[in-house]
Amino acid sequence: MAKDIHCPLPGVFYRKPAPNEPNFVEDGASVAAGTVIGLVEVMKSFHEVTAEEAGDNIRFEVENEGQVTAGTVLAKMD
């Protein structure tokens, strides 16, 4: 069954810690519970988004620097 990772806050979603660095997690990877999968910038402050449970074959639904609202599905996993 697919598992969704929801965005906790509205703002801008970043897949990498800084512009010149690699993504936190690449598409297709397996993640453990608590893994940081991205950042949300809200009102000039940055908040980590973590996977609440473990999953395989992660597929991102939102691009780097995409605008999000609270509840947006950021990624799906198996």
Partner 1 sequence: MDLTGKTLFVANRGEIAVRIVHAAKALGLRTVQAHSEADADMLAVRLADEGVEIGPAQATKSYLDVDRVVAAARESGADAVHPGYGFLSESPRFARAVEAAGLIFVGPSADTIERMGDKARARETAIAAGVPVTPGSDGRIESVEAAARIAGELGYPVMIKAAAGGGGRGIRVIESEADLAKQMPAAQSEAEAAFGDGGLYMERFVDKARHVEVQILGDGDRAVHAWERECSLQRRRQKVWEEAPAACLSQEEREALCASAVRLAESVGYRGAGTLEYLFDEARREFYFIEMNTRIQVEHPVTELVTGIDLVAEQIRVAFGAPLSLEQDDIRLDGHAIEVRVNAEDPAKNFMPFPGVTGAMHLPEGVRFDTMLYEGYAIPPFYDSLLGKLIVKGDDRAAALARLAEAIDATRLEGLKTTLPLHAALARDPDVARGDYHTTWLEDWLKTAGLG
Binding site for partner 1 (CB under 8 A): 9-12, 42-45, 65, 67
HSE at residue 74, side-chain half, CA atoms within 13 A, is: 30
Instruction: State in angstroms the smallest separation of the CB of 63 from partner 1.
Output: 14
Between 66 and 76, CB nearer to partner 1:
66
Instruction: State in angstroms the smallest separation of the CB of 54 from partner 1.
Output: 27
71 phi-psi bin (left φ>0, alpha ψ -120 to 50, beta other): left
d(CA 8, CA 34): 14
Instruction: State in angstroms the smallest separation of the CB of 14 from partner 1.
Output: 12
